[in-house]
Amino acid sequence: MRVGVIGTGHVGLITCASFAAVGHDVVGTDADRSKIDALSTGDMPFHEPGVADSIRAGMAGGRLSFSHETADAVREADVVFVCVGTPARASGEANLVAVEQAAREVVAHASAGLVIAEKSTVPAGTADRLTRSVALQRPDIAGSVEVVSNPEFLREGHALHDAMHPERILVGADSDAAFDVMRRLYEPFTSEGARLIETDIRTAELAKHACNAFLALKISYANALARLCERAGADVEAVTEVMGADSRIGPAFLNAGLGYGGYCFPKDLVAFDHLASSLGYDFAMLREVARINDEAIDATLEKVRDALWNLEDKRVALLGLAFKPGTDDVRIAPALMLAQRLRELGATVVGYDPHAAESAVRAQPELEVAPTAYEAAREAHCVVLCTEWEEFQELDFDKLGEIMATRVFVDGRNAIDGERAVAHGFHFYPTGRRPLTPGRA
Ligand code: UDX
């Protein structure tokens, strides 16, 4: 089938790659012409495992191309995906200006029978608004262009894997014709056993918000437990292990630490809360999830202050800047928020990240970065592990101790075996667990 993709960010580019990989003909476009120029020469706008190879293979195989013109992505398409950003307004409401703009451009070039699929995360009711826009803009095809909801469930760092092996495909539509088009589109996946869930459109839109909000809730529940465990002298890792052993709870997304970041959870929570209140329901739980997430950074900051006393003229090294391992994305990254707070308290902050240093400095120009973890830790009074990159498992604490001013290690992701640090004279501060000091069992 012929697929158009509007927006080649983290969602749109993976949408291009996955549909081309299963044999559809895909044309991607983006309002940012420089992105299209880069993609057309095989350069990727961000680091994501497997995407560069997949995109290049799609282009080489003639299944995938990129164009500056929306018309090229729409003209022959059976389905056009809207994959543009839906950032939060100050009120928390999802900003749908880009969604409307993209839809207007699509509709301008649409022919009868086109299906427009919302892949961006949008509040329930957005498709209704888009359908009304179509009727206003193109009364000639209003009845035969359908908007459907097809939310993505991609985790950064695993996005291509998640797209190629979806745990479920969710399609919200209002007609058999639209469902048939989407069933044909996803046939390469459902024929391999992927589960296709079909609902009405509003249900699909709301289910996406519900999923992300619940995942964030699990994380905040673990972080609230960490605060309690720190006060009770209990071990949050053991508590969440016990919880996760119950199949009704499950172990995933119960890792206490610096909390969630990224482009999705923070904005989706406030958008969901705003939607609920606009419908007359006070979903107060969502605000508590966000509060506990903010508190997780405060708790880590307090560990640094407890260890170092005054932070003026102290140097703090942050290991890991990306909002999670496997990506160079620093949008709403807890590490950058911690860096800001530390600087406000007078500390000098230096960061290291194997992939995200460049994007971190673009996001926070005042941030000093070092080329290695050890260079970041040189003369530092404290190291804070903020992102659990695999390479930090190999940290040489002997070498680290030699080059640091004082041997303090705050593990913001419970990624490190504290005994290794203590054996080399470190004062070790995990999350939701007892601090460890050298010379004391
Ligand atoms: C999320 C959802 O997982 C995905 O389904 C949705 O489509 C988009 O948003 P993503 O934001 O890419 O994906 O990353 P995810 O792996 O969910 O992690 C989000 C944040 O939560 C990261 O900052 C991560 O460090 C943090 N996290 C995750 C925790 O703090 N604890 C956990 O147990 C899990």
Q: Is 83 a catalytic residue?
A: no
Q: What is the mean pLDDT of residues 182-188?
A: 98
Dump pLDDT digits (tens) for 101-126.
999 999 999 999 999 999 999 999 99
pLDDT score for 48: 86
- How big is the CA angle at 167 (ends 261 and 50), to the nearest 5 degrees? 65
Q: What is the mean pLDDT of residues 255-272?
A: 96
pLDDT-wise least confident of 89-98, 267-276, 432-441: 432-441
200-441 domain in CATH 3.40.50.720? yes
Assess whether pLDDT exceeds 70 at residue 441.
Answer: no
pLDDT score for 387: 98
Assess whether pLDDT exceeds 70 at residue 440.
Answer: no
Q: What is the mean pLDDT of residues 267-279?
A: 96
Task: Please give all residues whose beta carbon lies within 6 A of any atom in ligand 1, as ranges.
Answer: 152-156, 212, 215, 219, 253-255, 257, 259-262, 264-265, 323-324
pLDDT score for 157: 87
Q: Percent of the chain, pLDDT > 70?
A: 100
For residue 264, give the ligand 1 atom closest to its CA: 9
Select which of 16, 83, 264, 386 is catalytic. Answer: 264
Please choose, from the candidates 385, 371, 377, 370, the residue with its C-alpha nearest in 3D space to the C-alpha of residue 416: 385
Mutate to test the pocket of ligand 1, among 205, 215, 239 (most ligand atoms within 8 A of CB): 215
Among protein residues, the one with the nearest Cα to ligand 1's atom 7 is: 153
Dump pLDDT digits (tens) for 357-367.
999 999 999 99
Whether 28 contacts 12, CB under 8 Å? yes
At which residue do the structure tokens 């195989």 appear?
A: 61
CATH topology of domain 2-199: Rossmann fold (3.40.50)
For residue 388, give the ligand 1 atom closest to its CA: 25
For residue 156, give the ligand 1 atom closest to its CA: 12
Assess whether pLDDT exceeds 90 at residue 5.
Answer: yes
Dump pLDDT digits (tens) for 317-341.
999 999 999 889 999 999 999 999 9
CA dist 20 and 62 (Å) reads 9
CATH 3.40.50.720 maps onto the chain at 2-199, 200-441
Q: What is the mean pLDDT of residues 143-165?
A: 94
C-alpha 155 to ligand 1 mean position (Å):
7
Assess whether pLDDT exceeds 70 at residue 205.
Answer: yes
Among protein residues, the one with the nearest Cα to ligand 1's atom 17 is: 155
**Mean of all residue pLDDT scores within the chain:** 96
Instruction: Provide the pLDDT confidence category of residue 47 given band limits of 50, 70 and 90.
Output: confident
C-alpha 370 to ligand 1 mean position (Å):
26
Among protein residues, the one with the nearest Cα to ligand 1's atom 31 is: 255
pLDDT score for 285: 98
